[in-house]
Structure 1
């Protein structure tokens, strides 16, 4: 029997009875528990940590978010641990969807107020709903057909006669013609992928509206075969102008077919599983926000890898890759995002900052120094009740300084950006005024 379980990052999963509604501890079945243990072992072999075993019947989830489906039918939804009160589950789902849209550059289509009211649906149903909405629009605009070359034997002439094959006809079969002709069919790579994704959605969805729309679309695409070679068909996805209306649905199709998953679930079982490292989602969201808000004179580069920590025998060792690098003709900024909670109320405990993060930024500052001056270093953490404004300046000496700034994910604001002179476009705007008042 299928079950739906919703928890947050770092939640504990156990087979023992747990009070309902607790996002930090939930009960799962014995079969789901054993499968998660095997899945965790496969992650550990690849160098990633999915969860930790605490005792014999307790698992502690790590910093991955999304949805994971087990072979026994348990669907586990993991939300960001960000909101502290007032409808944490609803707000966390909204936040997760916003982060995923930015990370995968998805453009959801909300067509009415009614669809907004369904925003509280679980992540997997939301993904399937967005895919179905895009597919419904595509079908209404028209599915692209293509000519397919057919070679067959018929008792009548059609198209071209295959002379070589006809000459090889045995005696007594000369009245059968070997012919070639083109047929205008919807059997092309893009449609095959959409049909396969549609079949998966129709089997996986537990939402009545999604199930109804999926089956309506299946009837409309009945003559389209499902893809049997997903990777090959994805490479054949056309980008010409006649296929422009197919581009909006492609990322949703890839997401459904597990071709765009940041974390691939290994093994024979492939349910509706979408796992994302929260650290990476936060980093990519901040990057996307900066690309929209920076002044035109500023150049943003992500994951720069031009510098190394040291050399040995003329060989470079330990590549240094800051998350974000901002350059203007006058100044350079080095920014790193961290999905951690920093508490401004604990100066005696160094605000819960990590010493290794400061070592990391210190190395970046020295190795990515420009000839015209010292770069400005910035650590960006999520905004919460314990970090509502920039921390006091950290001085590394020799004119090298570091700022710790909170990023407000709900209001899309980098608080204290003006203190570090980050070249944002909205100087003097409502956003800048809110930063200064903070």
Structure 2
């Protein structure tokens, strides 16, 4: 059985023999299956749904993407279910890496330098490669040292004499000096975290190039101590001007040490396992695009929370939080993102739209737009959903647009005349034909 299994969202994982592994169904080892069941229980206790158990031999994944490495060494890479089966693996891995780079707030130049065109390795190897490249550039520019206060007993004077401790010495030890002095050392929180992440990469990487570079850097940095308290050291990570050249390596270090993850694997075993909720990645990517395309004077708020569904005894209840709220002067527009495939030809099946989502958007429109204005539901574009649907009329001047977002071209395809304050590049020229 292969140690690397590539599947996509909502795939089935089973211990039963299969003719061949596909992106929607794959066989895993019994030990990996048992570990996944334990992992699923841990996620469920924290309120997250990682996967569902179907019988005694089958698990169905949810909408988390990334990579899982079991203690037995089996690696399961989970890709977005966005492209068709033909070239899904390559295209989906490219898409996932782009979304992660955006979530890490990398600039386009940094993302290009990070090698986003290389997708012949699993996601975990890509993350480790980018960490090693950023760390290599940091080492070339030089590590930051810091002064450490040392208090010790010596036979000679150095620095300052601690008069109080010296006077309290017992008789017969007058020839020892209680001193304190500063030493210029690389022992600082940022360097300790980098050493811990590098040690993990050295153990986990299977890629020859990554292994070579990791061990070269480990030889250069062997004097650095490892972090004893990851959380505390991250809190002390400085972001001032003198530490500006550390900023490129920080997000990769956070990924590897499980701190910056939207949802990271927790537990006693920690291989290079990274999981992201696909809905959150999509929402974050769309928000960044919309913010970059706003017209002058317009302002974007993500996860706005100024209104609630109702009030009770003078207090707001059931808070309403649209993903995106655009304001320009006294005008408002509400947009919400959904990571789901629609079929614009399936009119009888309501295109795959959810009635609950429409109730949600109607409530947003009543509270944030006073029952009159423009709303938008944003879904990923693909072959069966390439143009906006005709608007849905709630009555009273409240309209809902269901529009695609093209992740390949980075375009939000809004219909002409919808009134959203976005630059022309984000506007489509026509609507989906009526069938």
Structure 1-normalised TM-score?
Answer: 0.94
Match of 1:382 in 2: 380
**Paired residue secondary structure (1:7):** strand
Residues 419 and 123 of structure 1: is their aligned pair in 2 closer, same or farther, counting only changes over 3 Å?
Answer: farther
RMSD over aligned Cα atoms:
1.9
Alpha-carbon contact 1:368-1:375 (below 8 Å) kept? no
Match of 2:193 in 1: 193
The alignment status of 1:136 with 2:131, answered yes or no, reads: no
How far off its partner does 1:21 sit?
4.8
The alignment status of 1:421 with 2:419, answered yes or no, reads: yes
d(CA) in 2 for partners of 1:411, 1:144: 40
Alpha-carbon contact 2:390-2:431 (below 8 Å) kept? no
Cα deviation per residue 1:27-82 (whole Å; 9 max; x = unaligned)? 11101111111211222222221111111101100110011121222211100000
How far off its partner does 1:93 sit?
0.5
The alignment status of 1:232 with 2:232, answered yes or no, reads: yes
Cα deviation per residue 1:75-119 (whole Å; 9 max; x = unaligned)? 11100000104421111011001111222313545559xx56633
Alpha-carbon contact 1:391-1:403 (below 8 Å) kept? yes
Match of 2:182 in 1: 182
Match of 1:89 in 2: 89
Match of 1:50 in 2: 50
Structure 2-normalised TM-score?
Answer: 0.94
Structure 2 matches for 1:165-176, cutoff 5 A? Answer: 165-176=165-176
Alpha-carbon contact 2:333-2:369 (below 8 Å) kept? no
d(CA) in 2 for partners of 1:88, 1:119: 12
Match of 1:316 in 2: 316
How far off its partner does 1:175 sit?
1.6
Cα deviation per residue 1:312-368 (whole Å; 9 max; x = unaligned)? 232321111111111112532111111111111011111111011111101110011
Residues 32 and 369 of structure 1: is their aligned pair in 2 closer, same or farther, counting only changes over 3 Å?
Answer: same
1:394 corresponds, among 392, 395, 401, to: 392
Match of 2:339 in 1: 339
5+ residue gaps in structure 1? Answer: none
Alpha-carbon contact 1:335-1:380 (below 8 Å) kept? yes
Residues 59 and 335 of structure 1: is their aligned pair in 2 closer, same or farther, counting only changes over 3 Å?
Answer: same
Cα deviation per residue 1:226-271 (whole Å; 9 max; x = unaligned)? 0101111111111221111111111111111000111132322222
Match of 1:210 in 2: 210
d(CA) in 2 for partners of 1:329, 1:109: 35
d(CA) in 1 for partners of 2:161, 2:225: 28
1:410 corresponds, among 408, 411, 421, to: 408
**Paired residue secondary structure (1:280):** helix
How far off its partner does 1:436 sit?
4.8
Cα deviation per residue 1:209-232 (whole Å; 9 max; x = unaligned)? 111111111111111100101111
Match of 1:160 in 2: 160
d(CA) in 2 for partners of 1:60, 1:85: 18
d(CA) in 1 for partners of 2:116, 2:248: 20
d(CA) in 2 for partners of 1:379, 1:58: 34
Match of 1:40 in 2: 40
d(CA) in 2 for partners of 1:142, 1:97: 29
d(CA) in 2 for partners of 1:116, 1:272: 19
5+ residue gaps in structure 2? Answer: none
